[in-house]
Amino acid sequence: MIMRFLRRSVFIVLAAVLLVGEGLANSDSEKVVARLTEVNNRIISGLVVLKANGALDAQGALSLIQTEASSLMDFNKLTRQAMGKHWRKADDTIRTRIIDLFRVLLEVTYAKVFAKYSGQIIKVIEAKTLVHGDIAVIMEVSDGSKAAEIEYTFSPNEDGEYLVGNIKVEGISLIANYRRQFSKIISAKGVEGLAEKLESMTASYLPK
């Protein structure tokens, strides 16, 4: 269920993250876009090289994601939000384990998407500062026949660095979808059961 949702939506999600365009209105937004543009340039160059060398597969893309794209994501916040009320039930050890496993799950899924990258058309529709200083960047992604709207919410971490803390695809929150799935697993098997589920989904990619 979790993987099916990602496979439907993450292609547009990742394409939008990769190809953020022009500068925005205020200094914080400009910094967000400048960083995204810098990461974008390195990722696109990496994809071109992988493709030219016949290495644009999930494994090659995974290495690129771990080096570049993952730096844009706040995996701690994403995991905390995905677990919702169940976060309080977990001790620090299990929280760390789930954060690490959730990160691997997202990276692996994204890698499969990167391997199919073909250069979607992206444009920024709007950027705005939300309450508490979060920045929302709304984008349109088109493959020539279909268009979808993506909204990224960037939140400052403890160091003041803006990272992706939520993503909406056509108004549907990716994290809210995970929260529903995680809640079902935790209700049935507990927090440890969620960790075991994530581990089984990512086992072949975990360090030996």
When mean pLDDT is compared across 10-19, 65-74, 83-92, 128-137, the lowest value belongs to: 10-19
Is-contact 139 122, C-beta < 8 A? yes
Decide if pLDDT at 1 tops 50: no
Strand partners, 140: 123, 149
Cα angle, residue 119 at apex, residues 10 and 121 outer, rounded to 5°: 85
Which pLDDT score, from 0 to 100, does residue 43 have?
Answer: 75
Mean pLDDT of 12-16: 49
When mean pLDDT is compared across 26-35, 52-61, 179-188, the lowest value belongs to: 26-35
Task: Decide which of 61 and 119 is more confident.
Answer: 61
Q: List the alpha helices (DSSP H) in 53-173.
A: 58-67, 75-83, 92-114
When mean pLDDT is compared across 6-15, 95-104, 155-164, the lowest value belongs to: 6-15
Between helices 2-18 and 174-202, what is the axis angle to 10°? Answer: 110
Mean pLDDT of 185-192: 95
Is-contact 167 15, C-beta < 8 A? no
Between helices 2-18 and 92-114, what is the axis angle to 10°? Answer: 70
